[in-house]
Amino acid sequence: MTKNIRVTKEFSFEMAHALWNYDGPCRNVHGHSYKLFVTVTGTPVEDMNNPKNGMVIDFTDLKNLVKKEIISVFDHSVTISSQQDSERTEACRTMFGNTVVVDYQPTCENLAADFASRIKEKLPAGVKLHSLRLYETATSFAEWYASDNE
């Protein structure tokens, strides 16, 4: 019997950002405690001789992929847009050290889309990224769904 199953893993990390040319207080460097939920979909392995029998993906494999592609890059960083002038970019690098410069406005929405692109092609064969939910605060989040982006 073929069954499609969704598997979700939760991650958390700390990140600061500043929104270039924004007209509110988020134009200033400020930080959040992010929660990231990554949901993949696939058919569980049906092979009694396979150590991954019954799994869509080993949670450890998903954890290692997300840690490598997202958490190790963004955790305890200051993320800013490449549209910001070079003087401010250098000031961030000098002041904060771990500064990530992205080619988009680092909003929750754009970060979610970026994170999806960083991991969807690196999943094992037969496993697809279904959705990604990124909480910027306890009550605010952005979601990316594969079905919305095909």
- Known catalytic residues are 26, 76, 136
Nearest CA-CA partner of 96 in 24, 26, 22, 14: 14
Give the DSSP H or E segment for 87. Answer: helix 86-96
Nearest CA-CA partner of 9 in 127, 137, 113, 88: 127
Token representation of residue 143: 């979601």
Quote the CA–CA distance of 129 and 86 in Å, as a whole number: 35
Residues 6+ apart with CB under 8 A from 22: 105
Quote the CA–CA distance of 13 and 11 in Å, as a whole number: 7
Number of H helices, E strands in the chain: 4, 6
